[in-house]
Chains A and B, each alone.
Chain A
Amino acid sequence: MTLIDTKIACFHCGDDCPDNQITIEDKHFCCNGCKTVFEILQESDLCNYYDLNLHAGTSLKAKNFNGKYDYLIDEKIQSQLLDFQSETINKVTLYIPAIHCSSCVWLLENFNKIQKGVFTARLNFLKKELSISYNPQQVSLLSIVELLTTLGYEPNINLQSTEHQPVTNKIQRKLILQIGVVGFCLGNIMLLSFPEYFKFDLKNSSDFAFQKVFLYLNFFLALPVFFFGASDYLKGAILSLKENFKKNTNILSVDIPIAMAITALFARSCYETFINQTAGYWDSMTGLVFFLLVGKWVQQTTFNYLSFERNYKSYFPLAVKIVGEKGIFKNISELKVGDIIEIHNQEIIPADALLLSHTSLIDYSFVTGESQPVEKEKNDLIFAGGRQIGGKIELIIQKTVSQSYLTELWNNDSFKKEKNIPTTELANAFSKYFTYITLIIASLSGIYWYFNEPNLVWKTVTAVLMVACPCALTLSLPFTMNATMSIFGKNKFFVKNQGVIQLLTEINEVVFDKTGTLTENKNGKIHFEDGVLCEEEKSWIAQLTAQSVHPMSRIIVENLTPTLSTGKGVLNPLLWRGQGDRRFGEVTKEITYFSETKGSGIEGIIDGNFIRIGSKDFIGISEKNTSSSQVFVEINREYRGFFTVKPSFRENWQGVLLKLKTTFRLALLSGDNESEKENLQPFFENNNLKFHQKPQDKLDFIAAEQANGNHVLMIGDGLNDAGALRQSNVGIALSEDIQAFSPACDAILDASKFSKLTDFLSFSKISLNIVKASFVLSLVYNFVGIGWAVSGKLSPVMAAIFMPLSSLSVVLFAVGMTYLFAKIKKLT
């Protein structure tokens, strides 16, 4: 039970109930949304939901979706979303970020019991995807989506939802199959090789017959290992050799020494089996391939429930309403210049457009980095990506979506080329020397034995090639990096792949974005400046502003009304929801006079006090440094100060910057104005502290720094950082909700762990050192093995014990050291 003080937890979501008014029987609810969900579930006998997890639901406060999904009526838009469409059955896959516990799985998979016409609902928990098949004659997609939203499982439908990705992961499946097949063969070959380990008397005729059967069986079992399990290594080696012969490159990929070892093992074992009729090295070969494949699998493990590849398409809505024709919706990619569109509260403007309505307040914080909402007048140009706050507005499109100011960024070259991943680079650099040294040792020992004991030439040469496999080398890298990734993941720092960790070690410059990165995104706290207000005065202002529909009034009401801020976290005034005046309780005083001048201010008399609230012109203040989101207050003809939405900096941001400053060059690129310059000055060099930066400027700055030989780490959060994140060596998106939209990046950092940034950077260096240490360890093993091989003493049994043992110990060393250091650095 979540009882805080005397507050009552909502039966549905566990939030505090502001009062005791919303109840069913003995159950309390925090809002009507939660109550509705409970009623729906009760009706369908699905209250099991609450037995599985207490307070399983998501809070439905601040959710307002009326008409938001109306575009799903449109047949054309619908068909773009559906996976399969026919007269009696439609299939759709919806991405639902709110999925968080087993109750969600249970409820959503029982969705067919709530909604008639739904056949089945299957959930993929990790990907947070719900696949629904339904009968379009009984239920529409719109009502399914709306019911899901009512239940608190709002699907995320955006422009990218229409691009269907292939459901099956072919590469991953092939790897799993390879591991399965090789594992099967490995087990059987080891079993059949067992007699060999005990050196039975092969002169005995019946034992000899068995031995022969075992040998041939081993050969047949090894065939799929060589041709199927190891096929990727062999193909990779051939490809790399071809490139080398064409003189395209002089890098010998790490596949070459691996393929050399596997081929040597295979050839030598065939020779032993068919010519000598003695045991080959089948077990060693199969074990080697098995370990390599497991290493590869570990390397591919990623946080597949996170998306690192989002572009503007997953930020924009799928469709907008076109004004003029009745009930017509258009996919925003089909918008034409001249179309008139309708945008509601909290919706995103999809393309550059002129404002047709009188005024509007646009929140650009995500797009340009401006921390304060911008007020726009009629006929002002509004850039795509802004979020409308307040009522409904009409706009006339000036540019198509793909040519908008914001989306043009994606036409930049840096978005077209793939970032190179250096996971294999380290291994490749190593493998060049490794290959040549192995070949030299093999031929030297061959020459030596040719003059001393010619019948040992073949044996020693193959033995050297077999034992000098970089297996342990290639394993230590993925296992160390995988351990590092999961340690980072536990600390809510999610890297895209293993290569990112390696890139992190090379960083020498860190570039920050301001809005949403150094400052909190969900700030929106109203600050009253230039004076002080007492509680009574605040309640007067709250009551007066409650009469107005102007967005700034709403923000003020939201912040000055204490009962609303009892919920979780910081209150976000941008998520406004209409509510009655019940909130003011007993303090409500009579308003005897009220008047609003649209777009400039309100005035009124409350409890005999004359109060005026509004812009500087309305109040009559001649200050220069003002912005549209400043609201001035006058009580009884006396200027008292102004309200402003001010971003608050993240916890410990100064500590992080100071720590980073000792080892890295620092820079700050903000799209915002210079109002915070004084606070930031101590941490950045003067020419590295830039304001009023457009997305393209940010990208160019990073490209210029890279041209100077710097390895740049970019930390940003918004769409305006997308170009910079992409151009940088490592782009980290800071996010307050890791499931929410974040631009394409190499890593996602949960905002709550921002202060650990320096730890992550230093730990990535430690893990690379661990890799290097395990390289040395495996080289020691290789020298021991080669020592045996050149003397011609490497027997199949020795190889079968030595090779897996060296690989395993290197892996254990690497992983153990990683976790040990994580513990020392307090990252676990």
Chain B
Amino acid sequence: MSILIYLIFAALTVASGFLISFFWATKDGQFDDTYTPAVRILFDDEKPVENHKEI
């Protein structure tokens, strides 16, 4: 059962990694603008074939 101790410490270490990346993300300003990135990600990098929608 003492394996549990290792398990818990391993889990904590992994979780701490995520906590640190959360710190990093916040300091980097990722939560300053929570709207634009959600729009941005939907755009294609390259322009698709022409033929725009007809009016």
Residues on A facing B (Cβ under 8 Å) = 1, 8-9, 11, 26-28, 45-48, 50-52, 54, 102, 105-106, 109, 123-127, 168-169, 172-173, 176-177, 180-181, 184, 187-188, 192, 206, 210, 213, 217
Contact = CB atoms under 8 A, between A and B. Distances in A.
Given A123-B36, A127-B33, A177-B23, A188 B12 contact: yes
Contacts of A127: 33
B53 A54 contact: yes
A230 B8 CA distance: 26
A418 B44 CA distance: 48
B15 interface: yes
A370 B15 CA distance: 65
A206 B1 contact: yes
B55 A126 contact: no
Given A173-B26, A173-B31, A177-B26, A50 B40 contact: no
Contacts of B40: 105, 109
B35 to A, nearest CB: 5
Given A27-B55, A28-B55, A105-B39, A169 B32 contact: yes
Contacts of A46: 47
B33 A125 contact: yes
A176 B26 contact: yes
Nearest to A221: B12
Given A102-B42, A181-B19, A206-B1, A45 B53 contact: no
Given A1-B55, A126-B35, A210-B1, A173 B27 contact: yes
Contacts of B48: 48, 51
Contacts of A102: 39, 42
Contacts of B43: 48, 52, 105-106, 109
A106 B45 CA distance: 10
Contact of A217 (B2, B8, B44): B8
B1 A126 contact: no
Contacts of A52: 43
A50 B12 contact: no
B5 A210 contact: yes
A102 B38 CA distance: 10
B33 to A, nearest CB: 5
A534 B42 CA distance: 56
B18 to A, nearest CB: 8
B33 A126 contact: yes
Given A106-B43, A124-B36, A184-B15, A47 B1 contact: no
Contacts of B4: 210
Contacts of A180: 19, 22-23, 26
Given A105-B39, A125-B39, A47 B5 contact: no
B36 A9 contact: no
B8 A48 contact: no
A184 B55 contact: no
Contacts of B15: 184, 187-188
A17 to B, nearest CB: 11
Nearest to A110: B43
Nearest to A305: B35
Contacts of A192: 8
Interface of B: 1-2, 4-5, 8, 12, 15, 19, 22-23, 26-27, 29, 31-36, 39-40, 42-44, 47-48, 50, 52-55
Given A126-B34, A187-B15, 9 more contacts: A11-B55, A26-B54, A26-B55, A47-B47, A48-B44, A48-B48, A102-B39, A124-B36, A188-B15
A173 B27 CA distance: 7
A50 B50 CA distance: 11
B41 to A, nearest CB: 11
Nearest to B4: A210
Contacts of B31: 172-173, 176
B47 A45 contact: yes
27 contacts: A8-B55, A11-B55, A26-B54, A26-B55, A46-B47, A47-B47, A47-B50, A50-B53, A51-B48, A105-B40, A109-B40, A109-B43, A124-B32, A125-B36, A127-B33, A173-B26, A176-B26, A177-B22, A177-B23, A180-B19, A180-B22, A181-B19, A187-B15, A206-B1, A210-B5, A213-B5, A213-B8
Question: Which of A1, A9, A51, A54 has the most chain B CB atoms closer than 10 A to its own CB?
Answer: A51
Question: Which of A26, A46, A188 has the most chain B CB atoms closer than 10 A to its own CB?
Answer: A188
B38 to A, nearest CB: 9
A105 B33 CA distance: 13
Pairs A-B, 3 closest by C-beta atoms: A125-B36, A102-B39, A124-B33
Nearest to A55: B55
Contacts of A109: 40, 43
Contacts of B33: 124-127
A4 to B, nearest CB: 14
B1 to A, nearest CB: 6
Contacts of A173: 26-27, 29, 31-32
A169 B12 CA distance: 30
A8 B55 CA distance: 9
Contacts of B55: 1, 8-9, 11, 26-28
A48 B47 contact: yes
A11 B29 CA distance: 38
B52 A50 contact: yes
Contacts of B36: 105, 123-126
Contacts of B53: 50-51, 54
Contacts of B23: 177, 180
Contacts of A126: 33-36
A213 B9 CA distance: 11
A125 B35 contact: yes
A348 B16 CA distance: 57
A569 B45 CA distance: 38
A452 B13 CA distance: 48
A213 B8 CA distance: 10
A180 B16 CA distance: 11
A209 to B, nearest CB: 8
Contacts of B42: 102
A46 B48 CA distance: 10
Contacts of A188: 12, 15
A47 B52 contact: yes
B29 A168 contact: yes
Nearest to A106: B43
Nearest to A174: B26
A181 B16 CA distance: 10
A131 B43 CA distance: 19
B50 to A, nearest CB: 7
Contacts of A210: 1, 4-5
A85 to B, nearest CB: 22
A183 to B, nearest CB: 9
A51 B53 CA distance: 7
A179 to B, nearest CB: 10
B19 to A, nearest CB: 5
Nearest to B38: A125
Nearest to A28: B55
Nearest to B31: A176
Contacts of B22: 177, 180, 184
A1 B50 CA distance: 19
B14 to A, nearest CB: 11
Contacts of A177: 22-23, 26
A47 B49 CA distance: 10
